[in-house]
A and B are shown apart, each in its own frame.
Chain A
Amino acid sequence: MYELSNVSKTYKQRNRLVEALQSVDLQIADGQMVAIQGPTGGGKSTLLQLLGALDRPSSGTITLGDVDISSLPDSKLVEIRSHKIGFVFQTFNLIPTLNALENVEIALQGEKISSSARIERAEAALASVGLSDRTRHLPSELSGGQQQRVAIARALVKNPEILLADEPTGNLDEQTRDDIMDLLEGLWREKGLTLVVVTHDSAIAKRAQRRLVIQAGKIREAS
């Protein structure tokens, strides 16, 4: 359960201030699937980073469960990220020197488990995204869709409560786009995740339980 009240985020760009988010009030219930739409530069990524405890708002409060993540120190934010939140990025952000399995494994590096247990979990996560036969491939040897599947496996291998996806299909062709959205939707359903997906694609947004639009830092529910 996210609760944002009066959240603003201001960036300094050279000599001017940019209000990426202005007095956002928002609640996201556990297990909800939310699609966020809006023009480029509207503040979608900024909101997702605040939800993902990657950054703190300039003002206002954000609570996740009963924790105020808008005022936690970096060392506490990283704990929350490592246990509760999974990220999926538009550009996949896999580590180019590591193979698919290792890219999933690195998400577990903070957990005190044996390497065989870690590999087992990573293999299971790759199986759940349909990549059992590609575990030893480097990112450069995988298609865009396959890379995004690896990234999704990496996000889910920790069993997070929340999955945040910032334009996960933005770099994919139409066919793959649907596959990835099917996958995300299936996982959301299966695992009872809270899923927040930023997307430009209205067809994708329509799959969500709830649609939000962010424009010039202001948020509203889409009708």
Chain B
Amino acid sequence: MFLTYLRRELFGRRKQTAIIAAGMALAIGLVIIVNAFSQGVQSAQSKVLESVYGVGTDMTVTLTPVAPTAPSGPQSFGFDRNSGTNVSGTQKVSQSRLTGGIGGGQFMPTSDLATVEQTTGVKGAAGTLALQNITFSGQIPQAFQVPLPASGAGGGPSVQKMQPRTKLNRGGTNGNGGSSFNVDRFSVLGVDLSKTAVGPLSAITVSNGVGLTSTDTGTYKAVLDSNYATSAKLSTGGSINIGGQDFSIVGLVTPSTSDSSSASDAYISLDVAQKLSGNADKLSTIYVQANSNKDIANVKASLASVLTADTVKTQSDLASSVSGSLASASSLVSGLGYWLSIAVLIAAFLIAILFTISGVSRRTREFGTLKAIGWKNRRIMAQVLGESFIQSMLGGLIGIGIGLVGIFAINRDNLTLQGSASAGSLFSGFGRRAVAGGANANGFPSPVGDPATLPQGAFGGSGRRSVETVQTITMHLPVALNVILLAVALSIVGGLLAGAFGGWRASRLSPAAALRSVN
């Protein structure tokens, strides 16, 4: 009888049922789409991050940058009278330097890696050393021996606003024609070749030639990012000068997760990178993989407590460094989408409650009659609760349908988003190829952008290139069971809430008064 009455009420009062169900359906559909969208954005973000950090990297450890108190002094390329070759009155010079951080190289000791590896909850860790190779080459008239580049913005030849990898040939500033300089820079990443499971090595795949393996440790072998190799006209089998040493190019790599550039232009053995840059036992970033997702927070806390000089960042910390339309999408869902779905949900609940209550009011005499013929309050409560429960569930089911259709439509449209991880945040002020000017993601003024702390003032302009690894990611909205369950739970809650209010109203009616009601 309960079910018959329920069914009759739901079908007999279609408008009421339709309104409550429609409100709930809209809200549930929105919740599902927003949730799926936010999961899609999250996985897109982690894809962007993975291309730089490696697959499965849960957190990174970098030295907390401090403003250098005593600048390490101007780094200068010293060309003496005898360096280079003499060609008809001009001296041809070329020097390649593998340098640490532009601000003097703020790196952490290798012992930090050991500390990380000993921390409980850590599954694996790999240390890297991110460097830049700067090659300065050109011709100067023999008569004018200029130390190049000199300290300070105005000191050297004005080779400002130089784009990376762009060779600028300028006449000498000393008034004597015939000076011509090339500056070329590219990023070099020293990687521990025995650790391919964690860190940047896990994020690249060999597209040509062979990759570096642990047997290559200590050798002058390099693999190049294939985009860089193309632009620098280098290929497998050739050689590249890094820090004054000729490296043989054994292979080319691309990021595993996208078609864009990988984390570095060149990859070499970590110990070689340390030796050539004069950073023995130094690391720029430690990539950490936790035993499980549950351990991440604990591992982060224990690392932060032992490695006091370092900054520990998890994927979610790093997600904020992802920029581009992906970041806009992320803030859209976490901002507007989140609040919109909460607002619509509240509205749907209110609609359900108000319509249930007004439905009860309209049926006052009906409930009075039921009480008169012997229905207990509990029974009337159950009736109202059952009705609004079914109405909400119906709405919830339709909402799930709307949500799935929405997800399907978005997935079918192959919505693409662009995302890039800012290098400034990745390497604590030392970027791949170049570093962002101004404040980096750590909130510290980037040593690069600030000419006062810039040893190579003349190169300040080249540091303006901040964003890279721009990746185009096709949004894929997952259909997650937990979101469906959440939707079902929300419609149950909405139905019970509305039914509880309405049922309470109905059961509280005095039968005598209810029967006198004109309704």
| Chain A interface residues (CB < 8 Å from chain B) | 45, 49, 52, 54-55, 74-75, 78-79, 81-83, 86-87, 89, 91, 93, 95-98, 102, 105-110, 115, 118, 154-155, 158
**Interchain nearest-CB distance for B2 vs A (Å):** 8
B8 contacts partner chain A, Cβ-Cβ < 8 Å: yes
Of all chain A residues, the one with the shortest Cβ separation from B376 is: A78
Report how far A83 CA is from B366 CA in the complex, Å: 19
CB contact list, B345-395 vs A, under 8 A: 365-366, 368-377, 379
Q: Assess whether B515 is in contact with A155, with CB atoms less than 8 Å apart.
A: no
Q: Assess whether B372 is in contact with A102, with CB atoms less than 8 Å apart.
A: no
Q: Assess whether A93 is in contact with B369, with CB atoms less than 8 Å apart.
A: yes
**Interchain nearest-CB distance for B180 vs A (Å):** 94
Contact of A78 with B371 at beta-carbon distance under 8 Å, contacts A97-B9, A98-B8, A102-B5 already known: yes
B275 contacts partner chain A, Cβ-Cβ < 8 Å: no
Of all chain A residues, the one with the shortest Cβ separation from B516 is: A45
Report how far A87 CA is from B375 CA in the complex, Å: 13
Q: Assess whether B1 is in contact with A97, with CB atoms less than 8 Å apart.
A: no
B278 contacts partner chain A, Cβ-Cβ < 8 Å: no
Q: Assess whether A98 is in contact with B5, with CB atoms less than 8 Å apart.
A: yes
Q: Assess whether B1 is in contact with A109, with CB atoms less than 8 Å apart.
A: yes
Chain B residue contacts of A107, Cβ below 8 A: 373-374
Which 10 pairs of residues, A with B, have the shortest CB-CB distance?
A: A82-B374, A97-B12, A55-B512, A93-B369, A97-B8, A54-B512, A81-B374, A54-B511, A49-B512, A107-B373
Contact of A89 with B1 at beta-carbon distance under 8 Å, contacts A55-B510, A78-B375, A110-B376 already known: no
Chain A residue contacts of B370, Cβ below 8 A: 95, 106
Of all chain B residues, the one with the shortest Cβ separation from A105 is: B1
Contact of A78 with B374 at beta-carbon distance under 8 Å, contacts A54-B511, A105-B1 already known: yes
Contact of A87 with B8 at beta-carbon distance under 8 Å, contacts A54-B512, A95-B366 already known: no
| Chain B interface residues (CB < 8 Å from chain A) | 1-2, 4-5, 8-9, 11-13, 365-366, 368-377, 379, 510-512, 515-516
Chain B residue contacts of A109, Cβ below 8 A: 1-2, 375, 379
**Interchain nearest-CB distance for B137 vs A (Å):** 91
Of all chain B residues, the one with the shortest Cβ separation from A155 is: B373
Report how far A106 CA is from B510 CA in the complex, Å: 20
26 contacts between A and B (CB under 8 A): A45-B516, A49-B512, A54-B511, A54-B512, A55-B510, A74-B377, A78-B375, A81-B371, A81-B374, A82-B375, A86-B373, A87-B369, A91-B365, A95-B5, A96-B12, A97-B12, A98-B4, A102-B1, A105-B1, A106-B1, A106-B375, A107-B374, A110-B375, A110-B379, A155-B373, A158-B373
Chain B residue contacts of A75, Cβ below 8 A: 376
Extra A-B contacts (6), CB below 8 Å, given A95-B8, A107-B373 = A81-B373, A86-B373, A95-B370, A98-B4, A106-B373, A154-B373
* B511 CB contact (under 8 Å) in A55, A89, A105, A106: A55
Chain B residue contacts of A110, Cβ below 8 A: 374-376, 379
Of all chain A residues, the one with the shortest Cβ separation from B373 is: A107
Report how far A102 CA is from B370 CA in the complex, Å: 13
Report how far A55 CA is from B514 CA in the complex, Å: 11
Chain A residue contacts of B369, Cβ below 8 A: 87, 89, 93, 95
Report how far A108 CA is from B379 CA in the complex, Å: 12
* B515 CB contact (under 8 Å) in A54, A108, A158: A54
Report how far A151 CA is from B365 CA in the complex, Å: 14
Report how far A47 CA is from B317 CA in the complex, Å: 75
**Interchain nearest-CB distance for A222 vs B (Å):** 26
Of all chain A residues, the one with the shortest Cβ separation from B13 is: A97
Chain A residue contacts of B376, Cβ below 8 A: 75, 78, 110
Of all chain B residues, the one with the shortest Cβ separation from A56 is: B512
Report how far A93 CA is from B373 CA in the complex, Å: 11
Report how far A105 CA is from B370 CA in the complex, Å: 12
Contact of A118 with B12 at beta-carbon distance under 8 Å, contacts A81-B374, A87-B373, A95-B366 already known: no
Report how far A79 CA is from B512 CA in the complex, Å: 16
Report how far A54 CA is from B511 CA in the complex, Å: 6
Of all chain A residues, the one with the shortest Cβ separation from B11 is: A97
Chain B residue contacts of A95, Cβ below 8 A: 5, 8, 366, 369-370
**Interchain nearest-CB distance for A18 vs B (Å):** 13
Of all chain A residues, the one with the shortest Cβ separation from B366 is: A95
Q: Assess whether B374 is in contact with A115, with CB atoms less than 8 Å apart.
A: no
Report how far A83 CA is from B376 CA in the complex, Å: 12
Chain A residue contacts of B375, Cβ below 8 A: 78, 82, 106, 109-110
Chain A residue contacts of B372, Cβ below 8 A: 52, 54, 81, 87
Report how far A74 CA is from B511 CA in the complex, Å: 10
**Interchain nearest-CB distance for B21 vs A (Å):** 17
Q: Assess whether B374 is in contact with A102, with CB atoms less than 8 Å apart.
A: no
**Interchain nearest-CB distance for A95 vs B (Å):** 6
Of all chain B residues, the one with the shortest Cβ separation from A97 is: B12
Contact of A102 with B8 at beta-carbon distance under 8 Å, contacts A49-B515, A93-B365 already known: yes
Report how far A95 CA is from B374 CA in the complex, Å: 15
Report how far A61 CA is from B9 CA in the complex, Å: 40
